[in-house]
Chain A
Amino acid sequence: KAGVTQTPRYLIKTRGQQVTLSCSPISGHRSVSWYQQTPGQGLQFLFEYFSETQRNKGNFPGRFSGRQFSNSRSEMNVSTLELGDSALYLCASSPGSNTEAFFGQGTRLTVV
């Protein structure tokens, strides 16, 4: 069974640009969550989608947005990039609600 696939693995962007990250969950999983991991703040929840609906959102500015498609694949977008957005962005796939989550390999974003 294939795991969670995130693309791209690495990304370098310039301040002010925007970026789109992609996540394909485990087959059959309808929930996709996104997290930001930095050395200083650890793992922080961004948002969660279930059956194309955003059910929960973390405490991040509106520059961070996402969506989920009918095949459960999800994208995350960050607009007007700032240096502080440099982080490892992790996508997690869950089979249902309040269940275990399986992480993808992450996308390491560097903003210069």
Chain B
Amino acid sequence: QKEVEQNSGPLSVPEGAIASLNCTYSDRGSQSFFWYRQYSGKSPELIMFIYSNGDKEDGRFTAQLNKASQYVSLLIRDSQPSDSATYLCAVSADNFNKFYFGSGTKLNVKP
């Protein structure tokens, strides 16, 4: 059973701070890693994807991947109240579009 683990939170950070979200996965053969944001009552929205070890930056978001330690993280700089949502980590371990999702981390950004 391939597992993707996330701390359910809630993670509370003040506005303007850096929010750090973490995810670990069990399958060493995992190839692709994704972060989605889901507002209450809405569908998941893709934020970032990362395939190689290291960091990938996109605006205020940075995804970090460490395959040796089997973890992927998402940093949100200058957090805004509008970033308050549940963040889902997803992992793909084969050449098909079958994603394994973590249970999500709820982020609260306080004004």
Contacts and interface: CB of A to CB of B under 8 A. Distances in A.
Contact of A98 (B36, B92, B102, B103): B92
9 contacts: A56-B94, A56-B98, A88-B43, A97-B96, A98-B95, A98-B97, A99-B97, A102-B46, A106-B43
Interface of B: 31-32, 34, 36, 42-46, 49, 88, 90, 92, 94-104
B43 A103 contact: yes
A100 B98 contact: no
A101 B99 contact: yes
Given A56-B94, A103-B44, 12 more contacts: A33-B97, A42-B103, A43-B101, A48-B96, A56-B98, A58-B98, A90-B44, A97-B97, A100-B49, A103-B36, A105-B42, A105-B43
Contacts of B34: 100-101
Given A90-B43, A98-B92, A42 B97 contact: no
Interface residues of A, number: 26
A42 B94 CA distance: 21
Nearest to B6: A42
A31 interface: yes
Interface string A23-50: 0000000010101000000111100101
A106 B92 CA distance: 21
A56 B46 CA distance: 22
A43 B36 CA distance: 12
Interface string A82-112: 0000001010101001111111111000000
A62 B42 CA distance: 28
Contacts of B44: 43, 90, 103
Contacts of A63: none
A4 B31 CA distance: 25
A45 B34 CA distance: 15
A48 B90 CA distance: 16
Nearest to A102: B46
B95 A97 contact: yes
A42 B43 contact: no
